[in-house]
Amino acid sequence: MALMLGTGLWKLSPQEHGTDGMRGTPSAAGAVWRAEQPVQAANELAGRLQRAGATVTQVPINSGALVHIESKPEATSAVNEVLAPLQAAVDSHGRLDIRVLPLR
Protein backbone atom coordinates (compact mmCIF):
# COMPACT_ATOMS: atom_id res chain seq x y z
CA MET A 1 0.00 0.00 0.00
CA ALA A 2 1.44 3.39 -0.91
CA LEU A 3 0.36 6.66 0.69
CA MET A 4 1.21 10.23 -0.19
CA LEU A 5 2.06 12.15 2.97
CA GLY A 6 4.07 15.29 3.35
CA THR A 7 6.97 15.50 0.94
CA GLY A 8 7.40 11.98 -0.38
CA LEU A 9 6.11 8.54 -1.15
CA TRP A 10 5.57 6.38 1.93
CA LYS A 11 4.86 2.69 1.99
CA LEU A 12 3.64 0.69 4.95
CA SER A 13 4.53 -2.98 4.63
CA PRO A 14 3.07 -5.87 6.63
CA GLN A 15 5.46 -8.09 8.54
CA GLU A 16 6.13 -11.74 7.86
CA HIS A 17 4.20 -12.54 11.04
CA GLY A 18 0.93 -11.07 9.75
CA THR A 19 -0.57 -7.61 9.69
CA ASP A 20 -1.18 -7.23 13.42
CA GLY A 21 1.70 -4.78 13.75
CA MET A 22 0.14 -2.48 11.16
CA ARG A 23 -2.97 -2.09 13.30
CA GLY A 24 -0.96 -1.38 16.42
CA THR A 25 -1.93 -4.57 18.19
CA PRO A 26 0.74 -6.57 20.02
CA SER A 27 3.26 -7.91 17.55
CA ALA A 28 6.87 -8.89 18.12
CA ALA A 29 7.97 -7.25 14.88
CA GLY A 30 5.83 -4.10 15.07
CA ALA A 31 4.86 -1.98 12.08
CA VAL A 32 7.17 -1.12 9.20
CA TRP A 33 6.89 2.17 7.34
CA ARG A 34 8.99 2.50 4.19
CA ALA A 35 9.96 5.99 3.07
CA GLU A 36 12.27 7.61 0.53
CA GLN A 37 13.99 9.50 3.38
CA PRO A 38 13.35 7.37 6.48
CA VAL A 39 15.26 9.45 9.03
CA GLN A 40 13.48 12.64 7.96
CA ALA A 41 10.14 10.78 7.91
CA ALA A 42 10.75 9.43 11.42
CA ASN A 43 11.63 12.92 12.68
CA GLU A 44 8.49 14.44 11.15
CA LEU A 45 6.30 11.66 12.57
CA ALA A 46 7.89 12.06 16.01
CA GLY A 47 7.18 15.80 15.98
CA ARG A 48 3.53 15.31 15.04
CA LEU A 49 3.11 12.62 17.70
CA GLN A 50 4.73 14.78 20.39
CA ARG A 51 2.43 17.68 19.52
CA ALA A 52 -0.49 15.24 19.94
CA GLY A 53 0.72 14.38 23.45
CA ALA A 54 2.79 11.22 22.95
CA THR A 55 6.20 10.48 24.38
CA VAL A 56 8.40 9.45 21.46
CA THR A 57 11.90 7.99 21.38
CA GLN A 58 13.89 7.21 18.26
CA VAL A 59 16.71 4.72 17.86
CA PRO A 60 18.79 4.64 14.65
CA ILE A 61 18.59 1.27 12.87
CA ASN A 62 20.21 0.38 9.55
CA SER A 63 19.36 3.31 7.28
CA GLY A 64 16.26 4.25 9.23
CA ALA A 65 14.89 4.54 12.73
CA LEU A 66 12.83 2.69 15.31
CA VAL A 67 10.14 5.04 16.61
CA HIS A 68 8.80 4.00 20.03
CA ILE A 69 5.52 5.69 20.89
CA GLU A 70 3.88 5.89 24.32
CA SER A 71 0.60 7.66 24.91
CA LYS A 72 -1.24 8.49 28.11
CA PRO A 73 -4.96 7.64 28.04
CA GLU A 74 -5.98 11.29 27.67
CA ALA A 75 -3.81 11.68 24.53
CA THR A 76 -4.59 8.34 22.87
CA SER A 77 -7.30 9.69 20.60
CA ALA A 78 -5.12 12.52 19.27
CA VAL A 79 -2.12 10.20 18.86
CA ASN A 80 -4.20 7.66 16.95
CA GLU A 81 -5.43 10.45 14.64
CA VAL A 82 -1.79 11.12 13.70
CA LEU A 83 -1.23 7.39 13.12
CA ALA A 84 -4.46 6.83 11.15
CA PRO A 85 -2.95 7.58 7.70
CA LEU A 86 -0.45 4.79 8.41
CA GLN A 87 -3.30 2.44 9.36
CA ALA A 88 -1.69 2.08 12.77
CA ALA A 89 -2.74 2.80 16.35
CA VAL A 90 -1.30 2.45 19.82
CA ASP A 91 -2.23 -0.73 21.67
CA SER A 92 -4.39 -0.93 24.80
CA HIS A 93 -1.34 0.09 26.88
CA GLY A 94 -0.78 3.19 24.74
CA ARG A 95 2.34 1.84 23.00
CA LEU A 96 3.47 1.19 19.44
CA ASP A 97 6.84 0.62 17.75
CA ILE A 98 7.25 1.58 14.10
CA ARG A 99 10.39 0.78 12.13
CA VAL A 100 10.92 3.45 9.47
CA LEU A 101 13.08 1.98 6.70
CA PRO A 102 14.14 2.94 3.17
CA LEU A 103 12.05 1.96 0.18
CA ARG A 104 13.34 -1.29 -1.26
Distance CA 18, CA 7 (A): 29
* pLDDT score, position 49: 98
pTM > 0.75: no
User: Per residue in 29-74, pLDDT tens?
Assistant: 679 999 999 999 999 999 999 999 999 999 999 899 999 999 999 9
User: Per residue in 5-22, pLDDT tens?
Assistant: 444 444 454 444 433 333
What distance lies between CA 52 and its chain's CA centroid?
14
Looking at per-residue pLDDT, the higher value among 24 and 92 belongs to 92
Tell me whether strands 95-102 and 31-35 are parallel, antiparallel or unpaired.
Answer: parallel
- SS3 category, 58: strand
